[in-house]
Amino acid sequence: MLIGIDIGGTFTDIVFADRSTSRLTSLKVPSREGELEKGVERGLKSLAERQEIDFPEVERIVHGTTVVTNALLEGQWGRTALITTEGFRDVLEIGRQNRPVLYDFGFELPEPVVPRDLRYEVKERIGPDGEVIEPLDEDSLTKVVEEIKDGEVDAVAVSLLFSYANPAHERKVVRLLREKVEAKVSSSSFILPEFREYERTSTTALNAALRPVMGDYLKKLERKSAGQGFRKDWEIMQSNGGITTSRNAEEKPVRMVLSGPAAGVEGATFLGEEAGFSDLITLDMGGTSCDVSLIRGGEAEITTKGEIAGHPIGAPMIDIHTIGSGGGSIAWIDDGGALRVGPESAGARPGPVCYGRGGTEPTVTDAHLLLGRIDPENALGALQGLDLDSARAAIGEKIAKPLGIEVEEAAAGIIAIADANMERAIRVISVDRGEDPRDFALLAFGGAGPLHSVELASKLGMSKVIIPAQAGVLSALGLLETELTHDLGHSVVQRLDRLDASRLREEFESLMSKGREILLAEGVPPRRIEYEFSADLRYLGQSHELTLKLEKDEFLKEMEIAQSFHEKHASLYGHSRPEAPVELVNVRLKAVGKRDKFDFDRSGEGELKDARLARRSVYFQNQGWKESTVYDRGSIPAGKSFRGPAVLKGEESTVLVPPQVKAFSDGMGNLVLSPEVG
């Protein structure tokens, strides 16, 4: 028995999988802002009421959490100190001096995670090749540690100059801190042993600041679940698309910043390949935000240049572009009299007006309800029904009346603007990076994604849309299909043609040894351990690098690595320089503990007519009101097809099929739609 739990801004999604019956049970419960663990507790209680579960017998419980992201966005982290090399106290404020908004002279950078009075310097100096230029001054270190001890901090970050090349001094600092100070300690040689002082220091400082937050959350979570009978340790989703133990999550919380969205991408990758689509653009639209990502050849893009709330993070993460466009996004009129949607969201409480929880601002969900796309009697989460009259009144008063238009026209406008926001987001991760969206299928999920998918695909010229059977809880389902994964890396800044081949082999073998040690400690059998190799390369003189996957036998083939780099550079930027020297920057390894995929039964049986529930009038963009068939999504039999206009009502999401669009239910329960492309 497996349980996957994903917390979103509006709902907490839970999926229970029983291997003995190959059946899934899913449910949604409202998230609790500021008390996320209580939403999880309530969800597990609701699950136990719906399904007979012997919690002590549960094999795995996997969790995707927003606690780290929320802490960063809200600035709610532990009181943190920083120890660095003398002369580098202000690296967090100096940064790169880039202007995120080029012509906004009033733009203010976020406050550093460590205030200046808590940044300390020690006398020492390591050179870029790892040579000791100035030994560590023990007296200055002792003085700093005593000051930190008196400062009553929750966490300490240690980031000494060039410690990635030689961590000896940093390890001495950490050792003394752990002897003298009770605070959580994070060192850059453990968190991110790579060059670029600002990014390494920022990542380490963020990790230290987040450890108290993550530690408290996991303790509450495990205490509550133990009270319900759980005997297994929790597993936590990482930003890189793999899971780790709760202990590692507490030690490296900075690797959990995209925990929930990454699970959705992993679930989409798995289901897409099953359905025969390895090139995908994923659209995860929930109640608060919309996450989009690109998958090429069954693999999601990974980046080490992430940023949250203006703070750079050098840890590997799936390349996900997020915008404030969800079912709870609020529609409003700006000072120029134009209709806008988002980024502010009504969240879980008060939520959309139609939820009846005190919300007064019209949202995307209210617009869908008014246009007949959502059933007012549909129960969702703890909601037993939706208030259509209140939604109509709010849209009429706040949007239609100021614009001088009919209320249905206002609702359609809200949907159109939300679609335009998401279309731009998809272009960012495709067109802006040299990819043609027409070469991809759109896999839409989340509670609101299937309502917008076909219109978006049509505008982008995409000929296929895939809606998974568990679209509304795909992130929670994706948690059950992920594997234990650890990303390891090390900087080796060296021209490729001057690099000793044995050095490269030693670097990778060292990373393999570390990865194997971690996975064995997590209980992975040796035969289940696999490795993936990659390297960051650039032309000599370039500021940034490209990550290139390597096969194991390429360690000693410098010419093949260089040629592959030239080809990738040309595909991304339209040009290459085969005559120019190539520089190796970082070696990377992904250590994976393989697990059996859960084979669950998703295909319905019977006749299509048995899935028909009713007929009702539904509003479609540019076509107006159309009499449409309402189907029970879970009862659509495999191998059957039909055409819109139709609405498919599910337990956790609703699918909108516009007029004349063909829908086909494959053998795995996915709905494959074929939009008309202009």
Q: What is the CA radius of gyration of the chain?
A: 26
Token pair of 453 as six digits:
């998918």
Mean pLDDT score, 437-446: 95
Distance of CA 532 to the CA centre of its chain: 21
What pLDDT is attached to residue 656?
96
Q: Is the pLDDT reported for residue 667 higher than 90?
A: no
Three-class DSSP category at 180:
helix
232 against 171, higher pLDDT: 171
Q: Is residue 280 part of a domain?
A: no
pLDDT greater at residue 49 or residue 425: 425
pLDDT at site 557: 62
| pLDDT category of residue 625 using cuts at 50, 70 and 90 | very high
Query: Angle at Cα 355 formed by Cα 354 and Cα 359, nearest 5°?
Result: 80
Mean pLDDT of 350-366: 92
**Closest C-alpha to 649, from 368, 437, 406:** 368
pLDDT in tens, 28-86: 887 776 677 777 888 888 887 777 777 888 888 999 988 888 888 778 899 999 999 99
Q: What is the pLDDT of residue 669?
A: 84
pLDDT at 500 over 60: yes
Same domain for 566 and 666, yes or no, is no
Report which secondary-structure segment, H or E, holds 117.
Answer: none
pLDDT score of 101: 76
Q: What integer pLDDT is reported at residue 504 of this predicted model?
A: 83
Binned at pLDDT 50, 70 and 90, residue 103 comes out as: confident
pLDDT of 65 reads 87
Over 60: is that where the pLDDT of 395 sits? Answer: yes
Q: Predicted confidence band at 383 (pLDDT cuts at 50, 70, 90)?
A: low
Residue 585 · residue 545 · CB < 8 Å: yes
Checking if the pLDDT of 11 tops 90, the result is no
- Position 612 scores a pLDDT of 93
Structure-model confidence comparison of residues 416 and 348, the more confident one:
416
- Residue 20's pLDDT is 76
Calculate mean pLDDT across residues 518-536.
93
Indicate whether 301 pLDDT > 60.
yes
Average pLDDT, the chain: 89
What average pLDDT score do residues 619-644 get? 91
Question: 227 lies in a domain?
Answer: no
pLDDT of residue 651: 80
Share of the chain above pLDDT 90, in %: 60
371 within a domain of the structure (yes/no)? yes
Asked whether residue 97 falls in the same domain as residue 189, the answer is: yes
pLDDT in tens, 546-580: 999 888 665 556 668 888 899 999 988 889 999 99
Last residue of a domain, one of 417, 436, 462: 417
Q: Are residues 144 and 203 in the same domain?
A: yes
What's the 3-state SS for 632-653?
Answer: EHHHCECCCEEECCEEEECCCC
Quick one: tokens of 526? 């040796």
> How far is residue 495's CA from residue 395's CA, in Å, rounded to a whole number?
62
How far CA 135 is from CA of 127, 138, 172, in Å, comes to 11, 9, 11
Give the residue-averaged pLDDT of 506-521: 93
In a domain, 274, yes or no: no
603 pLDDT above the threshold of 60: no
Q: What is the C-alpha to C-alpha distance for residues 300 and 105, in angstroms, rounded to an integer?
A: 36
Asked if residue 564 and residue 495 are part of one domain, the reply reads: yes
* pLDDT (mean) for 457-474: 92
For residues 292-319, give the mean pLDDT: 90
- Burial (Cβ within 10 Å: 0-12, 13-18, ≥19) of residue 223: exposed
CATH code, domain carrying 565: 3.30.1490
Residue 434 lies in a domain: no
- Number of residues assigned to the chain: 678
Residue 205 and residue 81 in one domain? yes
Cα–Cα distance for residue pair 18/53, rounded to 1 Å: 10
Q: What span, in angstroms and rounded, lies between the C-alpha atoms of 587 and 461?
A: 39
Q: What band does 600 get if pLDDT is binned at 50, 70 and 90?
A: low
Burial group, residue 612, by CB count within 10 angstroms (0-12, 13-18, 19+): middle
Domain identity same for 88 and 197: yes
Are 624 and 511 in the same domain? no
- Judge if 156 and 97 occupy the same domain: yes
Structural domain count, the chain = 4
Write out 382-417 in H/E/C secondary structure: CECCCCHHHHHHHHHHHHHHHHCCCHHHHHHHHHHH
Whether residues 569 and 631 fall in one domain: no
**Domain end among 417, 438, 470:** 417
Of the chain, the end-to-end C-alpha distance in Å amounts to 46
Question: Is the model's pLDDT at 213 over the cut of 80?
Answer: yes
397 token code pair = 């008063």
Instruction: Mark whether 651 and 587 lie in a shared domain.
Output: no
End residue of a domain, out of 210, 235, 254:
210
Mean of pLDDT values over 630-657: 91
What is the spatial distance between Cα 249 and Cα 236, in angstroms, rounded to a whole number? 7
Is residue 378 in some structural domain?
Answer: yes
Residues 84 and 204 in one domain: yes
Q: Average the pLDDT over each of 162-166, 228-232, 641-645, 666-670 and give the range with the smallest value.
A: 228-232
At residue 677, does pLDDT exceed 70? Answer: no
The pLDDT tens digits of the residues spanning 256-299 come to 999 988 999 999 998 898 889 999 999 999 888 899 999 999 99
Distance CA 488, CA 531 (A): 11
Is residue 444, in this structure, part of any structural domain at all? no
Q: Are residues 582 and 616 in the same domain?
A: no
Residue 28 counted as domain residue: no
CA-nearest of 284, 663, 279, 243 to 473 is 284
Residue 248: band (very low, low, confident or very high) from pLDDT cuts 50, 70, 90: very high
Q: Could you list the residue range(s) of the whole structural domain that residue 551 is in?
A: 484-593
Instruction: In whole angstroms, give the CA distance from residue 331 to residue 398.
Output: 8
